[in-house]
Amino acid sequence: MCGIAGAVAQRDVAEILIEGLRRLEYRGYDSAGVAVINGGELQRTRRVGKVQELSAAIESEPLAGGTGIAHTRWATHGEPNQSNAHPHISTDTIAVVHNGIIENHVKLREMLKGLGYCFSSDTDTEVICHLVHHELKSHSSLLAAVQATVKQLEGAYGTVVIDKTDNERMIVARSGSPLVIGYGLGEHFVASDQLALLPVTRSFAFLEEGDVAEVTRREVNIFDVDGNAVTREIKESEVTHDAGDKGEYRHYMLKEIYEQPRALAHTLDGRIAAGQVLDSAFGDNATKLLKDIKHVQIIACGTSYHAGMAARYWLEDWAGVSCNVEIASEFRYRKSHLFPNSLLVTISQSGETADTLAALRLAKEMGYKATMTICNAPGSSLVRESDMAYMMKAGAEIGVASTKAFTVQLAGLLMLTAVVGRNNGMDEGLQAQITQSLQSMPAKVEQALGLDDAIAELAEDFADKHHALFLGRGDQYPIAMEGALKLKEISYIHAEAYASGELKHGPLALIDADMPVIVVAPNNELLEKLKSNVEEVRARGGLMYVFADRDAQFESDDTMKVIPVPHCDEFMAALIYTIPMQLLSYHVALIKGTDVDQPRNLAKSVTVE
Ligand code: HGA
pLDDT in tens, 126-174: 999 999 999 999 999 999 999 999 999 999 899 999 999 999 999 999 9
Percent with pLDDT over 90 in the chain: 85
Centroid of chain to Cα 25: 13
Angle at 27 between CA 299 and CA 156, to 5 degrees: 60
Ligand 1 atom nearest 177 alpha carbon: 6
Across 260-280, average pLDDT:
94
Ligand 1: centre distance to CA 356 (Å): 18
- Does the annotation mark 568 as catalytic? no
Q: What is the pLDDT of residue 570?
A: 96
Is residue 567's pLDDT more than 60? Answer: yes
383/459 Cα distance (integer angstroms): 39
Q: What is the distance between the alpha carbons of residues 375 and 368, in angstroms, rounded to a whole number?
A: 19
Buried b (16+ CB within 10 A) or exposed e, 142-160: bbbbbbbbbebbebbbbbb
> Which pLDDT value is given to residue 535?
87
Task: Report the 3 state secondary structure along 156-197.
Answer: CEEEEEEECCEEEEEEEEEEECCCEEEECCCCEEEECCHHHH
Residues 72-109: tens digit of each pLDDT? 999 999 999 999 999 999 999 999 999 999 999 999 99
**Pocket mutation for ligand 1, best pick of 74, 88, 153 (most atoms within 8 Å of C-beta):** 74
Nearest alpha carbon to residue 609 among 103, 84, 126:
103
Q: Is the pLDDT of residue 562 over 80?
A: yes
Residue 580 pLDDT exceeds 70: yes
Per-residue pLDDT tens digits for 592-606: 999 999 899 888 778
* pLDDT value at residue 240: 58
Choose the residue to mutate in 30, 48, 77 for probing ligand 1, maximizing ligand atoms within 8 Å of C-beta. Answer: 77
Other C-beta atoms lying within 10 Å of the C-beta of residue 219: 11
pLDDT of residue 404: 97
> Could you read off the pLDDT of 359-383 as tens digits, one per residue?
999 999 999 999 999 999 888 899 9
Q: What is the pLDDT of residue 198?
A: 93
DSSP secondary structure code for residue 316 in this structure: I
534 CA to centre of own chain? 35
Average pLDDT, the chain: 94
Which amino acid, residue 355? D
* Beta carbon of 71 within 6 Å of any ligand 1 atom: no
Atom of ligand 1 nearest to the CA of 607: 8
76 vs 551 pLDDT, higher one: 76
The predicted pLDDT at position 545 comes to 95
Cβ 214 vs Cβ 188: under 8 Å: no
pLDDT number for residue 601 = 86
Sign of the alpha-carbon dihedral angle for 542, 545, 550, 551? negative
Query: Could you check whether the bond before residue 340 is cis, i.e. omega within 30 degrees of 0?
Result: no
Annotated catalytic residue 444: no
Mutate to test the pocket of ligand 1, among 24, 69, 124, 153 (most ligand atoms within 8 A of CB): 124
Of 39, 13, 578, 16, nearest to 310 (Cα)? Answer: 578
Q: What is the pLDDT of residue 242?
A: 58
Query: In the chain, what is the greatest distance between 2 CA atoms, to the nearest angstrom?
Result: 79
Beta carbon of 76 within 6 Å of any ligand 1 atom: yes
- CA Rg value for the chain: 25
Q: Give the model's pLDDT for residue 603.
A: 80
Do 191 and 4 contact (CB within 8 A), yes or no? Answer: yes
Under a CB-based contact definition with an 8 Å cutoff, are residues 424 and 317 in contact? Answer: no
CB atoms closer than 10 angstroms to residue 507: 18
Q: How many percent of the chain have pLDDT more than 70?
A: 99
For residue range 159-215, list pLDDT tens digits in order: 999 999 999 999 999 998 889 999 999 999 999 999 899 999 999 999 999 999 999
Q: How far is CA 348 from CA 88, 301, 360, 442, 542, in A?
A: 31, 8, 11, 22, 36
Mean pLDDT lowest among 394-398, 457-461, 496-500: 394-398
pLDDT value for 526: 83
Beta strands in 430-538 (DSSP E): 467-472, 494-499, 516-521
Tens digit of pLDDT for each residue in 301-314? 999 999 999 999 99
Q: What is the pLDDT of residue 18?
A: 98
User: CA separation (Å) from 334 to 8, 326, 338?
Assistant: 44, 11, 12
pLDDT band at 537, cuts 50/70/90? confident
Q: Please write the tens of the pLDDT for every residue from 342-352.
A: 999 999 999 99
Q: Which atom of ligand 1 is nearest to the CA of 77?
A: 10
156 CA distance to ligand 1 middle (Å): 10
Give the integer Cα–Cα distance in Å for 45 and 62. Answer: 10
Residues 287, 288, 290, 292, CA torsion sign: positive
Say whether 283 sits in a helix, a strand or coil. Answer: coil
**Catalytic residue from among 2, 323, 375, 568:** 2
Give the DSSP H or E segment for 481. Answer: helix 477-491
Given CA atoms 302, 303, 304, 310 in this order, what sign does their dihedral have?
Answer: positive
CA distance 419 to 44: 54
Q: Which residue has the higher pLDDT, 503 or 324?
A: 324
Burial of 366 (0-12, 13-18, 19+ CB in 10 A): middle
Ligand 1 pocket, residue 354 CB under 6 Å: no
CA 194 to each of CA 20, 95, 173, 353, 380: distance values in angstroms, whole numbers, following the listed order: 9, 22, 16, 16, 10
pLDDT (0 to 100) of residue 28: 81
| pLDDT tens for each residue of 404-414 | 999 999 999 99
SS (H, E, C) 247-263: CCCCCHHHHHHHCHHHH
- Give pLDDT, residue 530: 85
